[in-house]
Structure 1
């Protein structure tokens, strides 16, 4: 608010006037989320909603770092199994191994990590085993065979019954 409520004017009337003036100035146009439903409209009421939202935007976690790292290792293993190429599997496992190596050098706060490094070759072998074997691609007929087959079809269609 830019000014104080004058004496003798009801609060409701004064607030309504402030809102109308702001609308005329265009202060409410182009606001983020205008015309969209509230994101947490269907969720049950949470008195600490603002704390959870702030933690989410700041990237904070209520879990101890060791548990966060355990979860990250599990997620990395699942992501590696879903990766389309072997190079991506190696990259994913290599990245999480670096984090685990650092945590093993300097143990994080909280419960013990209880997790060793991934064996990259074993993960790659598991990834290969989970993939179906590539099927042999049918070879295209030789050009002469294809031409002869096409001519036979052509003559078969034009032959009178």
Structure 2
């Protein structure tokens, strides 16, 4: 453990003396990463240490359930618009609507959900328009 800076000694010269003493004791020998170049990451991220810790611990970025459902609803709507048939659109929207209703009926942890169930007929109508009116009821 280092001692306190003595009064009257300039801070910079005291720090440099402490570094020289540590080098003399060999405190900097065999440090992890010694002799390897620094990572060439030029982008700055305030949460770099959190992301590195999560990667080291094998964790993924977890969202609160309400935010995860918002993302899932957005993805479901995109999938519905790209669906090959009207029954597929109805199935996708019915599944996400069930999840939205479940989240609406129980108090959600985290931020408010801020979603309402999709109108299946409106989504089907939009799906038909996007397909150019050639809707196949398969």
Establish whether TM, by shorter chain, passes 0.5.
yes
TM range (shorter): 0.5 to 0.7
Match of 2:56 in 1: 50
Task: Kindly state the Cα deviation for residue 129 of structure 1 after the two structures are TM-superposed.
Answer: 0.7
Q: How many angstroms apart in 1 are the aligned matches of 2:85 and 2:104? A: 29
Partner of 1:110: 110
C-alpha contact (below 8 Å) 1:76/1:92 kept by paired residues: yes
- The residue number in structure 2 matching 1:69 is 69
The TM-score with structure 2 as length reference comes to: 0.56
CA RMSD of aligned residues (A): 2.1
Could you list the runs of 4 or more consecutive aligned residues of structure 1 that deviate by over 3 angstroms after TM superposition?
none
If the length of structure 1 is used for normalisation, what is the TM-score? 0.49
Does structure 2 retain, via aligned residues, the 8 Å contact 1:107–1:113?
no
Unaligned runs of 5+ in 1: 1-43, 135-161
> What is the aligned residue count?
86
The Cα shift of 1:63 comes to 1.4
Matched residues in 1 for 2:133 and 2:104: separation?
37
Q: How many Å apart are 1:100 and its aligned residue?
A: 0.4
